[in-house]
Amino acid sequence: MTRQKRSHHRLKRAVAPYLYLSPSLLIIGLLMLLPMVTVIGYSFQNSAVLRRDPSFAGLKHYQAIFADPVFWASLWHTLYFTCMSVVFHMTIGMVFALMLNSDRINPTLRNILRVLYILPWLFTAVIIAVIWRLLLEPNGVVNSVLMQMGIIGSKVEWFSSPETALHAVTFANIWAGYPLFMVSLLAGLQGIPKDFYEAADIDGAKAYQKLIFITIPQLMPIIISISLLDFIWTMQVFPLIWITTGGGPIYSTEVLSTYTYKLAFSSYNLSQASASAVVILLISLGLTLFYIRYQKAR
Amino acid sequence: MRKRHTPKDRLITVALHAALAAGLFFAAFPIYWMLSSSFKSNTEIFALPPTVLPKAFTLEAYAAILGDPVKLRFFFNSYFVAGAVTVLTVLIALLAAYGFSRFNFRGKGSLNTLIISTQTIPPITLLIPFFGLVVSYGIFDTYVALILTYLVFTLPYAILLMTGYLNTLPRDLDEAVAVDGGTSWTALWRVIVPISLPGVVATSVYTFLLCWNEFLFALTLTKSTSMRTVPIGIQLLMGQHAFEWNQMMAMSVLGSLPLLLIYLIAQRFFLAGMTAGSVK
């Protein structure tokens, strides 16, 4: 190659990656970063979206949200829903993964059960919501079985009484989400070197000691990163709650996403909804920073 | 080797199998109930005591769904939007992944972090500005609105998946093309793409599922019944015929079929993707 040709080639090499990335960056910039700036802008305007020349509102909409007891109730419900979901996703996922990984079950049975245990993961949130509405109908199968067993005395309206609605929605979400943990932990379990357990056997370690001192520490990186992701995603859940309870009865299952949605598309208060959306964004970003730091530290 | 004959040991094995059975009931019963209810009449669904197997097996719910052009349209819309987004996402993500995987450039690290962090942006936060944009560009209630907005959520993960896959392919392959005087563009299409099928399939599967499941944007950015997707269709069905549970279950079964089929087929592809690679 001549020198000129070579420098031309080098220039091409330097520009090429940006060209390959440009469609993605254009889409992410225009349809993700720009809207994020826009929503922050909306939250400081009066009658955002609805008016062509909205006036500056200052912090008015944020003050309105922080003064709204429903916002605080939604925040609390979101926390309860999310923490319970993550803890049980992790516990159930761990138990199932350990059971499937045991050498006491036959490999064919293991493969069949693995596929069946993943099932809840393959269903759309809307369908999960409809299934649980059918199961938990006052005249549905859960009530009739529980009554026959004498556990409950009368029909419980799981989704439409304020005492049970939040627990019922959380339960449905726990059922829907554990397979992510199960699959990741199962992969993690298969990656733990066998020598660790053999060495422990030589030292006469009991099964629970092996679990606490080998298995769980080895799985810790997976547990932490999946928990963080699960926390961020569960916090944003919308369809499951929207279809089962719609946030009711009397706000008892209102979470941040349904609260924001109603502000925007039932009350058409898009400015205040934007302020609430920005609060959700900030919480998510905080957790995301934490997640990225953790990933980099690994 | 562990001894297998003590009574205590046998007891543990029995207990484990009992726990496995309980786990199976927990995981699969709700799905079984959906399936069996879809073959029941509406009166039988709430029969006392509940019937585990449909006593009077009927396909009337499926006939009602499949005979209704409005409901078939929901399915068409879901397939069309998910299909279009999948094709676009895979193409765009492949280019970006190639850039990330085969080049070193300024800002690579921060762009990568940006893409990882966009995965966690709450959809509800983008919904309001999207609504404003979609209305002001006059694309409210169109396929374009759904396709554009879905792309934003499918791209980041698709880029990460594809980059991960391309990183497993040896660099000698495309460097050979460069030695022969070919450009990186030629290397991409002649060498990389033909051996990337497993990565492309895995990315397509994930993208398709994400689109098929999407609810919030479909709910807000479309309005007419002819533009609705399956998840919204199920919700509409629930509002209109609150007591047609068998139809709701039949529609849920039909709406889950593509996911189940893809899972059963693509499981193999995922494994193939991990073991494949043209140079060993």
Which of A117, A132, A274 is nearest residue B128 as measured by Cβ atoms?
Answer: A274
pLDDT tens readout for residues B119-171: 888 999 999 999 988 988 889 999 999 999 999 989 998 998 899 889 988 88
Which of A131, A280, A287 is nearest residue B125 as measured by Cβ atoms?
Answer: A280
Q: In chain A, what residues touch B17 (CB-CB under 8 Å)? A: 105
Could you say which DSSP state residue B227 is in? G
Q: Hey, is the C-beta of A50 within 8 angstroms of any chain B C-beta? A: no
Q: How far is B256 from chain A (nearest CA, A)?
A: 6
Residue B268's pLDDT is: 60
Q: Hey, is the C-beta of B231 within 8 angstroms of any chain A C-beta? A: yes
pLDDT tens readout for residues B168-225: 888 888 788 877 777 888 888 888 888 888 889 888 888 888 899 999 999 999 999 8
Q: Which of residues 199-258 of A touch B (CB under 8 A)?
A: 229, 232-233, 235-236, 238-239, 242-243, 256-257
Residue A206's pLDDT is: 87
Q: Hey, is the C-beta of B113 within 8 angstroms of any chain A C-beta? A: yes
Contact at CB, B96 and A21, closer than 8 angstroms: yes
Q: Hey, is the C-beta of B199 within 8 angstroms of any chain A C-beta? A: no
The structural domains of chain B, with segments of one domain joined by +, span 61-275
Q: How far is A49 from chain B (nearest CA, A)?
A: 6
- Chain B residue with minimum CA distance to A244: B235
Interface-testing mutation among B12, B124, B234, B267, with chain A (most A C-beta atoms within 10 A) = B124
Residue A186: exposed, middle, or buried by beta-carbon count in 10 A (0-12, 13-18, 19+)? Answer: buried
Residue A5's pLDDT is: 65
pLDDT tens readout for residues B105-124: 888 889 988 888 888 889 99
pLDDT at A56 over 60: yes
Contact at CB, A281 and B129, closer than 8 angstroms: no
Across the strands, what pairs with A56?
A45
Q: Who contacts B69 (Cβ-Cβ below 8 Å, separation ≥6)?
A: none
pLDDT tens readout for residues B10-59: 898 999 999 999 999 999 999 999 999 999 988 888 877 788 888 888 89
pLDDT at B276 over 50: no
Class in CATH terms, B61-275: mainly alpha
pTM over 0.95: no
pLDDT at A51 over 80: no
pLDDT tens readout for residues B213-261: 999 999 999 999 899 999 999 998 887 766 788 899 999 999 999 888 8
Percentage of chain A beyond pLDDT 90 is 51
Q: In whole angstroms, what is the distance from residue A12 CA to residue B185 CA? A: 11
- A62-127+160-297 has CATH 1.10.3720.10 classification: yes
Residue A254 banded pLDDT, cuts 50, 70, 90: very high
Residue B3's pLDDT is: 52
Residue B274's pLDDT is: 36
Q: Hey, is the C-beta of B257 within 8 angstroms of any chain A C-beta? A: no
pLDDT at B271 over 60: no
Residue A50's pLDDT is: 76
User: What is the rounded average pLDDT for all residues in chain B?
Assistant: 86
Q: In whole angstroms, what is the distance from residue A234 CA to residue B218 CA? A: 20
Is A57 strand, coil or helix? coil
Percentage of chain B beyond pLDDT 90 is 44
For A10, other C-beta atoms within 10 Å of its C-beta total: 10
Residue B278's pLDDT is: 24
pLDDT tens readout for residues A169-223: 999 999 999 988 898 888 888 888 888 988 998 888 888 888 889 999 999 988 9
For A182, other C-beta atoms within 10 Å of its C-beta total: 26
Percentage of chain B beyond pLDDT 70 is 93
pLDDT tens readout for residues A91-130: 999 999 999 998 888 989 998 998 899 889 889 999 999 9
The structural domains of chain A, with segments of one domain joined by +, span 62-127+160-297
User: What is the rounded average pLDDT for all residues in chain A?
Assistant: 89
Mark out the alpha helices in chain B (DSSP H runs): 7-38, 42-45, 60-66, 69-102, 108-118, 123-136, 143-168, 172-179, 184-187, 193-195, 197-213, 216-221, 230-240, 245-275
